[in-house]
């Protein structure tokens, strides 16, 4: 089995696409108007797992923006060159919560996306 996709709730499609594509460098795979909503699929280059951007609909979904991981790091952006990608993300406006640290499993630093979710940028050993 393979995890093909997961849904990520955003306040609106534009801000989701901007963050994932312009800041992180993901590819926009699909942006299809379905009437009341859109099917927006983004994917990191070389990945097989897609992120489906879903515009929050209603109070419960609005409240879930930035809380999908319940305050924990729940998204892990893996890189083969930590220094390069850390510098690129900082140049694109990402603020890291900590300085990069070296752990037994690799180099890592935590950042928050514009919606409040916490991510690890990680280069595994």
Which architecture, in CATH terms, is 69-125?
Roll (3.10)
Domain ranges in the chain with CATH number 3.10.180.10? 1-65, 69-125
pTM for the predicted model, two decimal places: 0.94
For 22, the token pair is: 């312009």
**What are the residue ranges of helices labelled H in 52-101?**
59-64, 82-91
CATH class, range 1-65: alpha beta
Q: Classify the phi-psi angles of 41: left when phi > 0, otherwise alpha if psi is within -120 to 50, otherwise beta.
A: beta
- The pLDDT tens digits of the residues spanning 49-58 come to 999 999 999 9
- The pLDDT tens digits of the residues spanning 12-39 come to 999 999 999 999 999 999 999 999 999 9
């Amino acid at each position: 089995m393979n995890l093909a996709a997961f849904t990520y709730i955003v306040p609106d499609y534009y801000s989701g696409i901007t963050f994932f594509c312009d800041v992180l460098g993901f590819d926009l795979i699909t942006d299809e108007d379905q009437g009341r909503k859109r099917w927006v699929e983004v994917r990191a280059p070389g990945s097989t797992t897609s992120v489906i951007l879903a515009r929050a609909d209603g109070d419960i979904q609005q409240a879930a923006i930035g809380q999908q991981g319940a305050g924990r790091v729940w998204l892990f952006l893996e890189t083969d060159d930590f220094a390069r990608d850390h510098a690129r993300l900082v140049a694109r406006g990402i603020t890291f919560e900590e300085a990069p640290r070296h752990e037994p499993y690799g180099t890592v630093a935590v950042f928050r996306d514009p919606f409040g979710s916490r991510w690890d940028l990680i280069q595994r050993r």
